[in-house]
Amino acid sequence: MPPFPSRRPALATGASLALLTVLAGCGSSSDSGGDKGGSATPAASSQVSVVASTNVYGDIAQRIGAGRVHVTSIISDPDQDPHSYEASTRNQLALSKAKVVIENGGGFDDFVDRMLKSKSSSPEVINAVSVSGKKAPAGGELNEHVWYDFPTVAKLADRIAADLGKADPDHAAAFTKNAAAFKAKLKTLKAKEARIKRDHGGAAVAITEPLPLYMIEASGLANKTPEKFSEAVEEGDDVSPKALHTTLGLFTGKRVEALVYNEQTSGPQTEQAKKASQAAGIPVVPVTETLPKGEHYLGWMTANVDALAKALDR
């Protein structure tokens, strides 16, 4: 069976990746939320220039900064796998002008750190994994997909507001107020997870890779996927026949109630799992690593949690 494409971050000089930006509110631009294919305009001198590794963090910065930030999201294409991203000189130019840089960290978007090493300015750099305070378990690896962890996103909102306030002290109070409003909406998402835990706590589910695990754990669900399957998918390696057989047996034996499936890392073996789940009448809950086009973070995560609840409520 052919291997999956490499999922380790890659930096290729001279690679070309279109940097999609759109005009949004008072001249600020972002790759997230309502991309109509327009071109970006230069940031006004009164705006804080923000660069985010993905449109997930770009959108959060846009919500907190409102019309007082100019946001560039390096990865905004929902079909682009962040792990295999190839940086461009255009990204380097955006970083050279940034006052605030937001990266995920944890090995997810190492291309940001590599590009930062070659620039002379010193922007405020926000590392979401560092902000989370999460550590790798003993003998294991850290799940770096912290944007699926709402307590971490709440901490991140406060950090973004603080760093925007440093760059633009005159509007620091507005940034803090916007962050508070954003966090209030996160509480609704946490309440939805609590409802799933109340109604379905302990229910068994399967995944294709660790992407949604923070959401699954907060919802009180049990991941039954063999680690050798999900780890191989995440690393871009072939899944062993034994791990694949065990995983497929979760569906043929109807031992799980849903499959949470990362659409951005599909391949022959994950497709086998998806087809086995569908054949057994087990719902498939699709998730992605970046914002779908036209979505914003809160709406996207609401849809994810609601889809999980619907799959279990059937």
Q: What is the pLDDT of residues 192-220, one digit of tens each?
A: 999 999 999 999 999 999 999 999 999 99
What superfamily does domain 190-313 belong to in CATH?
Nitrogenase molybdenum iron protein domain (3.40.50.1980)
pTM here is: 0.85
- For residue 262, CA distances in Å to 78, 122, 273 come to 12, 35, 12
Averaged pLDDT for residues 171-181: 98
Query: Domain ranges in the chain?
Result: 22-128+136-187, 190-313
Q: What is the pLDDT of residues 5-20, one digit of tens each?
A: 334 333 333 333 333 3
H/E stretch holding 102 reads: strand 100-103
Is the domain 22-128+136-187 a CATH 3.60.70.12 member?
no
User: Looking at 17-31, 98-112, 245-259, which range is the least confident one?
Assistant: 17-31
Averaged pLDDT for residues 58-81: 90
- For residue 113, CA distances in Å to 47, 109, 125, 140 come to 24, 8, 10, 24
Q: What is the pLDDT of residues 296-308, one digit of tens each?
A: 999 999 999 999 9
Fold: same for 22-128+136-187 and 190-313: yes
